[in-house]
Amino acid sequence: MFSYFKSPGKNKQAYTIAFYNLENLFDTTDDPNTFDDDFTPKGKKKWNNKRYKQKIKKLGSVIAQLGTEKSFVSPAIVGVAEVENRSVLNDLVNSDDLKNEHYGFVHYESPDERGIDVALLYKKELFELLSSEIFPLYLEDEEGNRDYTRDILMVKGKLNGELIYVLVNHWPSRRSGEDKGERKRIKAANLATSIIDKIKAENENPKIIIMGDFNDDPTNNSVKQHLVNASFYNPMESILAKGKGTLRHHGKWHLFDQIIFSKNFFEIEDKKHSFKYAEVFDNYFIQEWNGKYKGTPFRTYVGKHYQGGFSDHFPVYVYLKKN
């Protein structure tokens, strides 16, 4: 049932869909309403304009290359996480490697205490934006107080004329431990499922892409049991089974960054898109080259120590073929 697109060279009908956690893409200005103090010139990380511009340039260079070994164009759609505001997104789409690619973006400010949001970049010549909406994730801490986190972003649009829906997620972290955070991630999965139900109530047999940093692997309960039902396929599960991931923790690879599809992307219909292939973008130039972290993502910081890298996650991408 599941075919893979591995023909040599590039294909004019191949289009890339990607997701990338950008690791704390903050500007250098203090926002009094969020905990962004570390990412200011006087903060612990000594975040300054030179470091910010270098990070923007590096991230733009990665995004421009995603999927181009098979596609003639840069990604049609890129979901991103850990962006502070519209200003950093504007700088990103106007960076050296992206400024001629004509990307638009969809972004809303979320109530996250750190001030980080999700967003969607889209190539204007390929994707027609129709509408967008955010869905807040309501969580409580152990004392019953509101635990503010990222919203789920839903974008509706036409890719080469075909209607698709994209959900961009950044689920609660494992900072308090995997087991304690699982309850919150299951709630996020249930929210995503309710959004999908809403889409299906308005549109018969819709094509849906769920992407994001789920802070869980494809095999964890939140993803496998509460999100990926019989209508969806998660190509990232087989990638994880091969030992590949987007980040490594305590010597173990995890694939928190995932792109999941409704199974109607396997239907071969004229002038419509079908899923062909999924991969982790772990090219050598975005890896650590030496030391105990060799082979892992080349990060911007390790703790408070500046490294000058890209992100603490590798991006993921998939190919769609227009039939």
pLDDT band at 77 (very low <50, low <70, confident <90, very high): very high
Q: What was the pLDDT predicted at 198?
A: 97
For the stretch 193-251, pLDDT in tens is: 999 999 999 999 999 999 999 999 999 999 999 999 999 999 999 999 999 999 999 88
Q: What was the pLDDT predicted at 104?
A: 98
The per-residue DSSP string of 238-297 comes to: HHHHTT--SEEETTEEE--EEEEEEGGGG---TT-EEEEEEEE---GGGB--SSTTTTSB
Q: What is the mean pLDDT of residues 68-89?
A: 97
Q: What is the mean pLDDT of residues 61-69?
A: 97
Q: What is the mean pLDDT of residues 103-107?
A: 98
Query: CA 75, 210, 55: angle at the middle one, nearest 5?
Result: 45
Pair type for strands 14-25 and 77-83? parallel
List, in sequence order, the alpha helices (H) in 66-147: 86-93
Kindly list the structural domains of the chain, giving each domain's residue range(s) and its CATH number in brackets, ordered by start.
Answer: 14-125+216-322 (3.60.10)
Q: What was the pLDDT predicted at 177?
A: 56
Facing residues of 59 across strands? none
Number of H helices, E strands in the chain: 5, 18
Q: What was the pLDDT predicted at 103?
A: 98
Q: What was the pLDDT predicted at 140?
A: 82
Tell me the C-alpha distance between 271 and 30, whole Å: 48
For the stretch 8-64, pLDDT in tens is: 579 999 999 999 999 999 999 999 888 899 999 999 999 999 999 999 999 999 999
For the stretch 146-167, pLDDT in tens is: 889 999 999 999 999 999 999 9
Chain centroid offset of residue 322 CA:
22
pLDDT band at 3 (very low <50, low <70, confident <90, very high): very low
Prediction pTM value: 0.95
What are phi and psi for residue 34, nearest 5 degrees? -135, 165
Q: Give the residue with greater pLDDT, 5 vs 130.
A: 130
Q: What was the pLDDT predicted at 179?
A: 65
Q: HEC profile for 180-192?
A: HHHHHHHHHHHHH
Lowest mean per-residue pLDDT among 168-182, 216-230, 265-279: 168-182
Q: Give the residue with greater pLDDT, 142 vs 267.
A: 267
Sheet holding 257-262, edge to edge: 127-135, 152-159, 162-170, 208-213, 257-262, 232-233
**C-beta separation of 214 from 279 below 8 A:** no
Residues whose CB is less than 8 angstroms from the CB of residue 78 and which lie 6 or more positions away in sequence, other chains included? 17, 18, 19, 20, 63, 66, 103, 120, 121, 122
Q: What was the pLDDT predicted at 66?
A: 98
For residue 185, what are its two tokens?
């991630």
For residue 163, what are its two tokens?
């209607």
Q: What was the pLDDT predicted at 2?
A: 39
Would you say residue 4 has pLDDT above 50?
no
Q: What is the mean pLDDT of residues 276-301?
A: 95
**Mean pLDDT for all residues in the chain:** 94
Q: Identify the burial level of 241 via C-beta atoms within 10 angstroms of its C-beta, where 0-12 means exposed, 13-18 middle and 19 or more buried.
A: exposed
